[in-house]
Amino acid sequence: FMNQNLQNKIKNLIQENDVVLFMKGTPEMPMCGFSAAVVNILNILEVKFIGINILEDEELRQGIKEYSDWPTIPQLYVNKEFIGGCDIVQEMYKSGELQELFSSK
């Protein structure tokens, strides 16, 4: 089970930033194709976001999966809400839902 400190750390990151991407690598240098794909979409939409590199923190890597109850990385949070992983972000982008989500901010 996740310890309280880790849970608070994740919660704070999500609450203090409008858009948070838990990813492998950094926005400048993604370390996996799925993370890169989500970064790419956010950049196309010119969304300001912070990227959290879970490769630097094994505890966080496991913790975020538990926190969101989602098994894979990357994970996108917008306005404190879990949006999903790469597939979901791509689907939402194609359908225009993602653009709406960001334009309503």
- Write the pLDDT tens digit of every residue in 16-29: 999 999 999 999 99
The residue-averaged pLDDT of 41-70 equals: 96
CATH assignment, 4-104: 3.40.30.10
| Residue positions forming the annotated binding site | 32
The residue-averaged pLDDT of 83-90 equals: 98
- Write the pLDDT tens digit of every residue in 52-64: 999 999 999 999 9
pTM: 0.95
Cα 56 from Cα 24, distance rounded (Å): 9
| Helix, strand, coil share of the chain (percent; to 5) | 55, 20, 30
Maximum alpha-carbon separation in the chain: 38
| Residue positions forming the annotated binding site for [2Fe-2S] cluster | 32
- The residues spanned by each domain of the chain are 4-104
Pair of tokens at residue 99: 């653009």
